Amino acid sequence: MSELNAEHLSQDLRHHLHEILAENQRLAEQLDYGQVAAIIPLIQHAERVFVVGAGRTGLALKAAAMRLMHLGLAVFVVGETTTPAIRRGDLLLAGSGSGTTSTIVKAAEKASAAGAQVVAISTTTASPLAALATQVVVLPAAQKQDHGGTISQQYAGSLFEQAVLLLTDAIFQGLWALDGTPAEELWKRHANLE
């Protein structure tokens, strides 16, 4: 690669990263933090927390599950072979931009039928997932097939997926502040078979 091309590529990468950060900042300014705050007691009072999401949203929720486990919560990822049956007293944290992803909606239906509460993270309150939820947090991000670029210049649901990760990290930080457990204690739960 020539020096001129490397410099141009470097400038492009800088521009793209700044645009991604700017989109996430705009989303954060539009977020209804009352919706987010309503999740905190649901997590605190749940006997167990289950997370479910597809694709990159699912990966972001797996990261959230890890942090909740570090807090000492009983957390399970839907679809893993060691995940038990959900029951009354449990909480399902479900992420779907459209709120129509069939596997996510089916999991929410089963959780609701079992007496568990459902929290939906989505881009809309007008969806089958939202209708099943105890609490909905709306992330003002583009849905996967919104190719117009008016909400986000990023591909597919990238802004939503990034926001799920950042939001669940903020929820963890809030729960941790309320809990007050020193970081050294949380670290004892960190994976040691790596």
User: What is the per-residue pLDDT for 75?
Assistant: 98
92 within some domain? yes
Report in angstroms the alpha-carbon separations of 73 from 66, 116, 143, 182: 10, 16, 31, 15
Going by the DSSP 8-state scheme, the letter that residue 115 receives in this structure is: T
140 within some domain? yes
Query: Of these residues, 3, 7, 80, 161, which one is catalytic?
Result: 161
User: What is the per-residue pLDDT for 144?
Assistant: 65
Could you give the strand order of the β-sheet that contains 91-95, starting from the edge strand earlier in sequence? Answer: 75-77, 49-53, 91-95, 117-122, 135-138
Is 161 a known active-site residue? yes
CATH number at residue 171: 3.40.50.10490
Helix axes 158-179, 55-70, angle to 10 degrees: 10
156 within some domain? yes
What length is written for the chain?
194
Query: Can you give the pTM of this predicted structure?
Result: 0.93
105 within some domain? yes
Q: Cα separation of 68 and 76, whole Å? A: 10
User: What is the per-residue pLDDT for 147?
Assistant: 62
User: What is the per-residue pLDDT for 145?
Assistant: 66
Mean pLDDT, consecutive 10-residue stretches, the chain (194 aa), reads: 81 95 96 97 98 97 97 97 98 97 98 98 96 97 71 88 97 95 93 88
What is the extent of the structural domain holding 87? 3-187
Domains: count for the chain:
1
- Any alpha helices (H) in 31-157, and if so which ranges? 33-37, 39-45, 55-70, 102-113, 128-132
User: What is the per-residue pLDDT for 153?
Assistant: 87
111 within some domain? yes
193 within some domain? no
136 within some domain? yes
120 within some domain? yes
